[in-house]
Amino acid sequence: MYQSIICKKIPALILVFSISLVSLWAQHNQPLFTLLKGESTGITFKNTIVDTKDHNILIYSNYYGGAGVGVGDFDNDGFQDIFFAGNLVDDRLYRNLGNMKFEEVTEKAGITEHDGWSSGVIIADVNNDGWLDIYITRELYDNQPERRRNKLYINNGSSGVNKFPTFTESAEAYGLADSARSRHATFLDYDKDGDLDLFVLNQPPNPGNYSELYGTKTGPKYAPKLYSNNGDQTFTDVTVKAGVGKAGYPNSITASDLNNDGWTDLYVANDFASPDFLYMNNGDGTFSNQLESSMRHISYFSMGVDASDINNDGWLDLMVLDMVAEDNYRIKANMGGMDPESFWKVVDDGGYYQYMFNTLQLNQGKVEDEPVFSDIAQLAKVSSTDWSWSNLIADFDNDGLKDIHVTNGLLRDIRNTDAGKKFSNYIEEVAYGWIDENPNAGEVSIWDILDLEEALKITPSQKLPNYAFKNNGDLSFSKVTTDWGLDQATFSHGSAYADLDNDGDLDLIINNMNERAYVYRNNSETYSDHNYFRVKLTDKKNHRPVFGAKIKLTSKGQSQWYEFTNVRGMYSTSESVAHFGLGEAKTVDELVVTWPNGKTTKLLDLEAGQQITVDYSDSKSETQKPKIESAYLRKVDLIQLDHVENEFDDFEKQVLLPHKMSRFGPALAVADVNGDGNADFYYGGAKDSPGKLVLQDRQGKLTTLKLKAFMVDAMYEDLDAAFFDADGDGDMDLYVVSGGNEWAPNAAEYQDRLYLNDGKGGFERSESIPEITESGSCVRPFDYDQDGDLDLFIGGRHVPWSYPSPATSRLLSNDHGKFTDVTKSMAKDLINIGMVTDAVWTDFDGDGFTDLVVVGEWMPITFIRFTGGKFIDETRKFGVQDSEGWWYSITANDIDNDGDEDLIAGNLGLNYKYQASPQEPFEVFYNDFDENGQKDIVLSYYNFGDRYPLRGRSCSAQQVPDIKYDFPTYNQFASANLLDVYSLDKLNPALHYEAKTFASAFLENKGQGRFDMTPLPNEAQVSSVNDILVIDLNQDGHKDLVLAGNLFPAEVETPRN
């Protein structure tokens, strides 16, 4: 860690959008949380770290990694006690006396073995006796494995009233004294046999090349381990047998049922280039890693992980932390960029697609028993929380929605680029200085001559506030760190939540470095509109584990779900009580507990504002019937549609492109081409891959034809296609738009093509279209002049190798099958109108003439009105203000059934790395900034109110080398805004575009060409919308939207979405 499509129903399109209320706490006299003083609580634990000659950050990459905290009721008195792990300091156990008072009882409880570096705190009833035990993972000390042995403290039970129990260290006896540098662990019942098994996260000594470890898929030297509980207070290593022995650099884990099949799955968050592992439980004692089929990308420096249901749909979502900063300075000063060569090496080595951002993986349900996730961290505004460690997802304000808390901070910014260079220079000076002074001396360790204190001073140190995010209920979150009283600057690591004072809300406990631990009291119990309900599960007869049990709570028609799991975040264990916020609700209508073995307990009409205990053995239970889910769409694998994309490096031509321009195919067109009444289709090819004609018979069987006309044209890249009757003979002919970015501007390979149908599905290329050698995007047939034949609008995308220069769009008039370019005479406003991606014919002003609406990248939604004689750009008159965006699709349909056509426009979406608004637009400038005869791209964005170059110093200097001399250090460049780096005399004459919105939108036609634009719900903003289908999918009489999307060809520092 330290080194180097969505189906959305819109009934009658009466869209009810969630309004994000940042916080109601300002109405009250105090914030949500109050930081309690150690003198008041009695908790004075402080995880103090000191760099020494033998142990320091320069030797051990995890030296500033911190430690965890665990919460559990060890004496069964109804109050949650706290255990803190210490790195160089002793672990500490605090007994909860009530009323936020604690007593330190470590030695009294028999916890006396402190010779080691403790990291993780895992609390569970390991031996099923009804008393919580403590497992401690330990690391560091590469040459002293005896100091790395994990510890298992077995609770001996209380010997009397008000007697706190003692513990006996029993790791060796249980077979759990792992000494392989354990970062963290979790207990779980993976085989559902009624006892707890253990998964331990082990790391290699120091970061290396992941590809060296990846080749051994099971049982490598430094792999995590799965221990199966034998039922006799011993465990057996079953790692290889279970198929979970892949090596990596695991930091954290969650054990949760991610596909709702009743079996506990595992998500392992791995640091560095090693990919995370998504181990799906096969139900037979083995697991299968299904990461690549379930997720489109993951975090790079994966840190803490938590699983919880953020949108109350019954599917567990996943949040994984990384370490990118929120502010421009720390982004550019502290984090080295990911260059394409390194990125693709990680992918090629089996590391998958990894990006240096937090990921919030929204669980979309399952396809063929595999969960499908969409990362929505950018949309949710939780992607960037600096050097992060532990994340907790829970309802902290008791409003019925789960919020997020993140700890962060690093004792020294060891990834500060300038500091790294200074340190290397310092080491070199010390080494050569010593050699000059001692020319005849033998070899010597650098640690014998280095002034460690001076060396560490080179690296900056900055405390940071942690992050708190309030759930807005629409897949987005609002940062409320200050509003909630959690903005103290610290170096924080492990964290846990628990209702420490039994008042019905979740308090916070945080293990800090070089500062006392924090205990925050939650004040929401003082507000009448934030009610709660809490559930503790027990099995008094057999003390079987409750991990894997699920609860569904329904109140006022709204349901919430909770699953019991062991550890959350990083290094830590939170309370094992299901906590539900109820808002204003006074009762719980129904509570359904699904136990790990599938049996259920149902309770009705429960009063809010209480904690209840539900016992397995005393409750009337019945086997839960599997829930049958219906789907509007089903997955069909069509080998006929296998697409092979050619490889082309767009960034070699333009280093600072935001995304490849060679990856926007393939084309798809549908029609009955042979007159048999069945829909056939043309599927376009990439460069050097011919397009395919696929015929369908009455039984739905598909046959692919290899037509000579398509085979000889394989050199073209098909961007769009349309079937239409070009020559008036009653059959479907085919127009194919050529595009891409592989060839120089106006190359013959950009020529569009027209293929005429012989009436039987045979096609021959026609020469009846003019020369069109722009890199195109779309074709839209329509008889605009009402002469009985179909004319064509051809969208031009861009000038190859000259992004963002737009290509010319064209209007072709059909004269009995001969097409003529009438753009200059009929529609001159189409010339260089923009980087067009899509268009739709519609009478937007209701005058009886069909007009044209055009969208594109960096374009407004553009209204081209047909007057009966000319096409005129009247966007300023009829258009929607501030609609400039990265639009990819548009369609017209009378959604609200009022007699006129509305518009649905597909934009980039709100899940992009950068955002855009009229006040703070996303911008591009294109000019020869370094006067070398070639134009350069400069992208800019806003960060906390100021405008900055998008890319960092290294990338920017590749395009404009003088930047290295104008800004000799990364810190200087990180402090510079756009005008500091690029002067006005070069920005002002540049080709300049702004994007003011990235939201896909519904444009309601209000009549006479007036449209009201409203963003689609956030569920439709998860990715770019590249195509739109309006259809009554569920046959309820209301038109629904099927949105096709994803933008994968972004530059390597921007996550695929």
Note the pLDDT of residue 27.
Answer: 46
pLDDT by residue (tens digit) across 988-1041?
Answer: 999 999 999 999 999 999 998 899 999 999 999 999 999 999 999 988 999 999
Spatial CA neighbour of 1050 closest among 211, 296, 7: 296
Quote the CA–CA distance of 478 and 22 in Å, as a whole number.
6
SS3 1042: strand
In the numeric block, which tokens belong to residue 340?
A: 């394409």
Q: Who's near 251: CB < 8 A, 6+ residues apart?
A: 1, 183, 184, 201, 269, 270, 271, 302, 303, 304, 570
Note the pLDDT of residue 528.
Answer: 74
Note the pLDDT of residue 621.
Answer: 60
Confidence bin at 620 (pLDDT 50/70/90): low
Pick the more confident residue, 515 or 53. Answer: 515
pLDDT by residue (tens digit) across 746-772?
Answer: 999 999 999 999 999 999 999 999 999
Note the pLDDT of residue 20.
Answer: 35
Right CATH for 533-623 from 1.10.10, 1.10.3470, 3.40.50, 2.60.40: 2.60.40
Q: Which of 61-75, 207-221, 500-514, 965-979 has the lowest mean pLDDT?
A: 207-221
Residues 782-789 have a mean pLDDT of 95
Give yes or no for residue 15 having a pLDDT over 80: no
Taking the CB of residue 431, how many other CB atoms lie within 10 A of it?
14
How does strand 7-9 pair with strand 1040-1045? antiparallel
Domains of the chain, by residue range, sit at 33-183+307-522, 533-623, 637-783, 922-993
SS3 212: helix
Residues 387-405 have a mean pLDDT of 98
In the numeric block, which tokens belong to residue 279?
A: 């181990």
pLDDT by residue (tens digit) across 712-736?
Answer: 999 999 999 999 999 999 999 999 9
Alpha helix locations (H) across 416-462? 417-437, 446-449, 452-457
* Partners of residue 478 on adjacent β-strands: 470
Give yes or no for residue 952 having a pLDDT over 50: yes
Q: Which of 371-385, 429-443, 833-847 has the lowest mean pLDDT?
A: 429-443
368 burial type by CB count under 10 A (0-12 exposed, 13-18 middle, 19+ buried)? exposed
Give yes or no for residue 629 having a pLDDT over 70: no
Quote the CA–CA distance of 219 and 224 in Å, as a whole number.
8
Residues 40-63 have a mean pLDDT of 93
Confidence bin at 432 (pLDDT 50/70/90): confident
Dihedral of CA atoms 480, 482, 484, 489 in degrees, nearest 10, equals: 110
Give yes or no for residue 639 having a pLDDT over 80: no
The one-character DSSP state at 397 is: S
Edge-to-edge strand list for the sheet holding 1010-1015: 889-893, 902-906, 1001-1007, 1010-1015
Quote the CA–CA distance of 443 and 529 in Å, as a whole number.
71
Confidence bin at 10 (pLDDT 50/70/90): very low
Cis peptide before 804 (omega within 30 of 0): yes
Backbone angles phi and psi of 480, in degrees to 5: -130, 25
Confidence bin at 630 (pLDDT 50/70/90): low
Quote the CA–CA distance of 76 and 160 in Å, as a whole number.
12
Give yes or no for residue 623 having a pLDDT over 60: no
pLDDT by residue (tens digit) across 250-306?
Answer: 999 999 999 999 999 999 999 988 999 999 999 999 999 999 999 999 999 999 999
Note the pLDDT of residue 4.
Answer: 31
Q: Is the CB of residue 1032 less than 8 Å from the CB of residue 1024? A: no
Tell me the pLDDT of the chain averaged across its residues: 92
Residues 312-336 have a mean pLDDT of 94
The one-character DSSP state at 20 is: P
Quote the CA–CA distance of 616 and 543 in Å, as a whole number.
9
Confidence bin at 492 (pLDDT 50/70/90): very high
In the numeric block, which tokens belong to residue 335?
A: 């984090």
Pick the more confident residue, 448 or 676. Answer: 676
Residues 865-882 have a mean pLDDT of 94
DSSP labels for 946-993?
Answer: EEEESS-HHHHHHHSTTHHHHS-SHHHHHH--HHHHS-HHHHTTSEEE
Quote the CA–CA distance of 494 and 647 in Å, as a whole number.
44
Spatial CA neighbour of 322 closest among 394, 391, 247, 403: 391
Note the pLDDT of residue 1026.
Answer: 97
Q: Is the CB of residue 685 less than 8 Å from the CB of residue 670? A: no
Residues 142-160 have a mean pLDDT of 92
The one-character DSSP state at 349 is: I
Give yes or no for residue 213 having a pLDDT over 70: no
Give yes or no for residue 779 having a pLDDT over 50: yes
Q: Quick one: how far is CA 54 from the chain centroid?
A: 39
Give yes or no for residue 628 having a pLDDT over 60: no
Quote the CA–CA distance of 939 and 914 in Å, as a whole number.
11
pLDDT by residue (tens digit) across 801-837?
Answer: 999 999 999 999 999 999 999 999 999 999 999 999 9
The one-character DSSP state at 347 is: I
Quote the CA–CA distance of 739 and 988 in Å, as a whole number.
31
Quote the CA–CA distance of 711 and 705 in Å, as a whole number.
10
Taking the CB of residue 755, how many other CB atoms lie within 10 A of it?
23
The single residue listed with the structure tokens 């010390």 is 430
Spatial CA neighbour of 651 closest among 663, 642, 643, 634: 663
Note the pLDDT of residue 899.
Answer: 92
In the numeric block, which tokens belong to residue 412?
A: 């020294």
Residues 949-976 have a mean pLDDT of 95
Give yes or no for residue 22 having a pLDDT over 50: no
Confidence bin at 484 (pLDDT 50/70/90): very high
The one-character DSSP state at 421 is: H
Give yes or no for residue 220 having a pLDDT over 90: no
Note the pLDDT of residue 611.
Answer: 98
Percent of the chain as helix, strand, coil, to the nearest 5: 15, 35, 50
Backbone angles phi and psi of 215, in degrees to 5: -60, -30
Spatial CA neighbour of 380 closest among 476, 480, 311, 478: 476
Note the pLDDT of residue 384.
Answer: 98
The single residue listed with the structure tokens 């789907």 is 631
Give yes or no for residue 538 having a pLDDT over 60: yes
Q: Is the CB of residue 53 less than 8 Å from the CB of residue 63? A: no
pLDDT by residue (tens digit) across 101-140?
Answer: 999 999 999 999 889 999 999 999 999 999 999 999 999 9
Q: Is the CB of residue 414 less than 8 Å from the CB of residue 2? A: yes
pLDDT by residue (tens digit) across 644-665?
Answer: 899 999 999 999 999 999 999 8
Residues 532-539 have a mean pLDDT of 97
Residues 68-87 have a mean pLDDT of 98
Q: What is the largest CA-CA distance in the chain?
A: 101
Backbone angles phi and psi of 917, in degrees to 5: -150, 165
Spatial CA neighbour of 419 closest among 307, 334, 315: 334
Quote the CA–CA distance of 227 and 583 in Å, as a whole number.
42
Quote the CA–CA distance of 136 and 118 in Å, as a whole number.
6
pLDDT by residue (tens digit) across 370-393?
Answer: 899 999 999 999 999 999 999 999
Residues 421-449 have a mean pLDDT of 84
Note the pLDDT of residue 24.
Answer: 42
* Partners of residue 938 on adjacent β-strands: 925
The single residue listed with the structure tokens 């900063």 is 325
Q: Which of 139-143, 187-191, 534-538 has the lowest mean pLDDT?
A: 139-143
Residues 570-574 have a mean pLDDT of 99
Note the pLDDT of residue 276.
Answer: 97
The single residue listed with the structure tokens 């062991």 is 566
Give yes or no for residue 169 having a pLDDT over 50: yes
